[in-house]
Structure 1
């Protein structure tokens, strides 16, 4: 080959797709299954928390409902933890290795999911405070899974199917959202069957069945199961060949590890490694990095930030929008567990028809259409549908037209996932050099979580009371946000069909191009003289 790439890296790029790749997708993907379950199940139980702990709050304007500030902290604590965890574990993934910190994230998620369900106290303040504390650390573990899973999958995959493999890992988020809906719906239904609604309810908004306090705890604690089932296999995965060779400088170990998992013989090329490493030994704060990848980093961070404002606004405000759509009954018409059941059922329907298919459309078409085109399309279509819902809100938010509203709402989820929600995860795992790949993915993902926090503490707070004019305004704001994301996508470049080293310049191609431009410049200067 014309490049200076190591044989072990070429072997990874050209390896046939085999069982080990599938196993890596499942192992990494189960982390995202857990992440999605833990992040989004809170939306399904937050109204039950209000019924349980704030039905007698004399200071509340709406007894039986979490106060706005409490609701924002309950929803947002895990997002703040995710933001911090992404930065910490992303940096550690480059410093200590992907595998060394990969298991820590799962252990943290298992322990904190269980502890979230065991949030006890002598007062509602103590219960909610301990819940938020454990959900922060749950989010901290979830945050680590983003850069590590993406980086590991990108460094294992071959170049012809890399995008599909990374997208498939992320698509497990859709399965997690569906599972969260199923679990919440099943648990609330079981409690309803065991404790049927009283025949006479003088004040439905205050009515809570006996033992309903267990329902939300069970839903949160079940989030520990998939992490527990994945831990052993995650620890059996070897360090990626790219990290072992390029960062640790051990080409022999990299060739041995990757030869074993790919079932082929790989040359070590230890003598070639020193020259290869010298081409790529520059930190993230260097001028060389900024010249080569500065715009890419701005692009991945800005698009993920803008996307998550819209994406998390969609997910976190569903519980407030569904009653307006007439997909669930008003809170005053049902008891606590009935409300939880109806919300879970509506969220599950949207996930099955819009969210879930969008992820897998990306997996199917990302190598054909490319990351760049899918991201542009997704941002544009999300903006279009949100703009229609905002402008035509008064027409759509009626009993007669509720299915039109639900269809448009579901399509925004579809094109979020067959669009930027998937590609913003894929691109940072491909654009940057091995030495800083995990850190750059973490910075991009943390920018996304900053957008999610804007949603949790801003957009969600604005729409919390379900007033139609506020939801209408929020839809138009989100449409504009998506168009900004469309524009920021042009800071990025297409990565399909190329090796990671070719994309980042680690194979020496960018050094050669820079040297050629420099020589041409000197030649022209001499001619001028």
Structure 2
């Protein structure tokens, strides 16, 4: 069986190369998202924007991400993971470059929408592709490591903001963010299409060639039956209603709750983080330094989650990290000194981004090949609705005179609610074959 041969492949250079290729796309996505967070305080001052308008700039990208996730996830199940991944990277790179020449608040909103569309489409498709190639026993670790590139991208954004914005202005930050378009050419040269996708479309010879090539490159001689069987080529067509039928009903409900809550909290917190620190009375340059320190804490959070996700399991690791994110958010909201802001910010960053890594591992595992990208895309799309609302809600709360304590009490509550949802409704998927969960 072809899928058995794929599952039997040892971890080798191919898997790590695919991790880096998809991970770089993740890094550039995060860099773009981070750049707008660092640019917002500068734009607000230069263009005389209100807190509500700044929130709208953060939210409009999430509108694009929601639509992009749903559309890209659905068409990736029809036209392939690789083509959709490449197209979305090109779209957000071009749109980011156009942000550099924005001449007004309205023009920036339009360009940020298309940036979000490309971003939202790329993330679930990349996670789906990686999950369909990663070995069963290390699948969780690979997907969390893929998500860890997001932390590196945020660090890159903070460095660009720290080094370029004070000297050259915000325009150059967006120009640098447009560079990933070059990266698309490397994607097409080195990224294979998903074997599971090809088989689901009846493209047996192409799938066979990829597996044969991988076995040769990894020095594997498969000893079982080399014939393609009916188990390799599922015939079901992707339908949206499948997400709401049978055992997938509870999974879809759980995922949509979790995605909404984690995206709401993440974008509400991190889009506003530089502005929040700045409003606490710290100098603009100091703000970059503090946020950069907090951002660095994301990396050990990812690595800890990558180790736990295949040991403790997806369900319990995710519940733990979400709960601790809520605790850290509560105390961050009460922090008054620079030391406490940095400490609780680092704890919050550690657990929040670790949880993101597990979410991207868990989501594609809960659906079969025929609806995997669609299910992941819809979950991410629903999450982006939360992301749209969060920056706007925070901006409105600040304009209404609410202090940071109240804002972060809200985020802490959201984290606890979604942690309970995972614990109560989730199923464990570690060490299980993707088609038998």
Give the TM-score normalised by the residue count of structure 2. Answer: 0.93
- Aligned residue in 2 for 1:19: 13
1:37 equivalent to 2:31? Answer: yes
1:304 to 243, 256, 259: 259
1:250 corresponds to: 203
1:22-62 per-residue CA deviation (whole Å, 9 max, x = no partner) reads 111111111111111111211111222233222xxxxxxxx
Q: Give, in whole Å, the separation in 1 of the partners of 2:241 and 2:122.
A: 24
Given the alignment, which residue of 154, 164, 184 partners 1:187?
164
Residue in structure 2 matched with residue 9 of structure 1 by the alignment? 3
Q: 1:223 corresponds to which residue?
A: 177
Equivalent-residue separation in structure 2 for 1:498 and 1:312 (angstroms): 32
| Contact 1:251–1:269 (CA under 8 A) maintained in structure 2 | no
1:410/1:325 CA distance change after superposition, 3 Å? farther
Measure, in 2, the Cα distance between the counterparts of 1:434 and 1:502.
11
Measured at CA, do residues 464 and 20 of structure 1 come closer, stay the same or move farther in structure 2, by a change above 3 Å?
farther
Within 2, Cα distance between the matches of 1:227 and 1:160? 34
Match in the other structure for 1:477: 410
Q: 3-state SS of the aligned residue for 1:119?
A: coil
Displacement of 1:115: 1.0
Match of 1:383 in 2: 326
Who is 1:440 aligned against? Answer: 375
Instruction: For 2:226 and 2:95, locate their aligned partners in 1 and report how far apart those are by CA, in whole Å.
Output: 42
SS of the aligned residue for 1:351 comes to helix
Pick aligned residue for 1:290 from 241, 245, 263: 245
Runs (4 or more) in structure 1 with deviation over 4 Å come to 264-268
The TM-score with structure 1 as length reference comes to 0.77
Compute the displacement of 1:223 (Å): 1.0
Contact 1:93 1:438 in 2 (8 A): yes
Q: Which moved more, 1:341-350 or 1:437-446?
A: 341-350
2:347 to 407, 411, 414: 411
Structure 2 distance, partners of 1:389, 1:68, is 21
Q: CA deviation at 1:110?
A: 1.9
Question: Over residues 76-98 of structure 1, what are the superposed CA-to-partner deviations in whole Å (9 max), with x where a residue is unaligned?
Answer: 22111111110111111011111
- CA displacement 1:304-329 (0-9 Å, x = unmatched): 11112221122012123213555x23
Shift of residue 179, structure 1, vs aligned partner:
0.1
- C-alpha separation in 1, matches of 2:290 and 2:276: 11
Question: In structure 2, do the counterparts of structure 1 residues 71 and 252 end up closer, same or farther at CA, with 3 Å as the change threshold?
Answer: same
Partner of 1:501: 435
1:491 maps to 425
Structure 1 residue 282, shift from structure 2 partner = 6.7
CA contact (8 A) 2:77 2:238 kept: no
1 CA distance for matches of 2:89 and 2:122?
A: 8
CA contact (8 A) 1:325 1:402 kept: no
Whether contact under 8 Å (1:317, 1:463) holds in the other structure is no
Structure 1's 67 and 281: CA in aligned 2 closer, same or farther, altered over 3 A? closer
8 A Cα contact 1:359 1:422, kept in partner: yes
Using the TM superposition, give the Cα deviation of residue 281 of structure 1 relative to its aligned residue in structure 2, in angstroms. Answer: 5.3
Give a deviation string over 1:369-394, Cα, whole Å, max 9, x none. Answer: 2111111111211222233445xx2x
Deviations 1:461-485 (A, max 9, x none): 31368x6x52111111111111110
The alignment of Structure 1 onto Structure 2 pairs a total of residues equal to: 431
Structure 1 pair 13–406 and aligned structure 2 pair: CA distance change class (3 A) = same
Match of 1:104 among 87, 90, 93: 87
The 1:227/1:362 distance shift into structure 2, 3 A limit, reads farther
The residue number in structure 1 matching 2:288 is 344
Q: Which structure has the greater CA radius of gyration? A: 1
Asked if the contact 1:372/1:492 (under 8 Å) is kept, the reply is: yes
Matched, 1:313 2:268: yes
